């Protein structure tokens, strides 16, 4: 592994150890900082953290085993997706795909569950459960209004 010094020079761990005693105090100090930073990074990246207890709706079946940082242990439900016919499709990797609106449950470290809604990978909005319920109720009411028959309709 090579480490970058603050002046852009790259140095190996063995160089740091072998050359340390022959260096001036300033250089020793800078190398010690680099070595400390590197050891901290190696420690973080070389050990995964223990799995956690997931809520029943979480799609992860391992308790997020294999993560290195607690902030990466985020619970997500299965996503619910709706293809949108009134939004221009997405061109991706040589194909044309309908844009999708989606919703899922999301819960980060020490947070309450949220509903996250989005449009493809362009828009992501987190809402409290109460906000999501209110919006869903308004959308259902709007659909019911639009589909309701006028009093004068015969059929
Ligand atoms: Zn989970």
The rounded Å distance from CA 140 to ligand 1 centre is 30
pLDDT at residue 151 tops 80: no
* Distance from residue 50's CA to the centre of ligand 1 (Å): 13
E-only strand ranges, 23-112: 75-76, 80-83, 90-92, 95-97, 100-107
Q: How far apart are CA 27 and CA 20, in angstroms?
A: 8
CA of 106 to the centre of ligand 1 (A): 9
pLDDT digits over 50-72, tens only? 999 999 999 998 999 989 888 89
Give the residue ranges of DSSP H helices in the chain: 13-19, 25-46, 129-147
Lowest-confidence range among 13-17, 22-26, 50-54, 83-87?
Answer: 13-17
Distance between CA atoms of residues 80 and 102, nearest Å: 5
Tell me, in angstroms, the distance from the centre of ligand 1 to residue 152's CA.
53
pTM score above 0.95: no
What is the CA(61)–ligand 1 centre distance, in A? 7
């Amino acid at each position: 592994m090579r480490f970058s010094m603050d002046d852009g020079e790259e140095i190996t761990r063995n160089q740091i150890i072998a050359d340390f005693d022959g260096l001036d105090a300033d250089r020793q100090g800078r190398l010690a900082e680099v070595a400390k930073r590197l050891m901290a990074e190696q420690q973080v990246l070389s050990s995964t953290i223990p799995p956690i207890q997931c809520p029943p709706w979480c799609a992860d079946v391992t308790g997020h085993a294999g993560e290195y940082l607690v902030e990466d242990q985020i619970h997500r439900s299965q996503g619910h997706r709706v293809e949108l016919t009134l939004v221009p499709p997405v061109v991706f990797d040589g194909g044309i795909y309908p844009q999708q609106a989606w919703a899922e449950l999301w819960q980060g470290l020490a947070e309450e569950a949220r509903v996250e809604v989005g449009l493809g990978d362009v828009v992501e909005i987190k809402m409290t459960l109460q906000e999501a319920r209110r919006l869903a109720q308004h959308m259902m009411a709007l659909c019911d209004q639009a589909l309701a028959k006028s009093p004068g309709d015969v059929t």
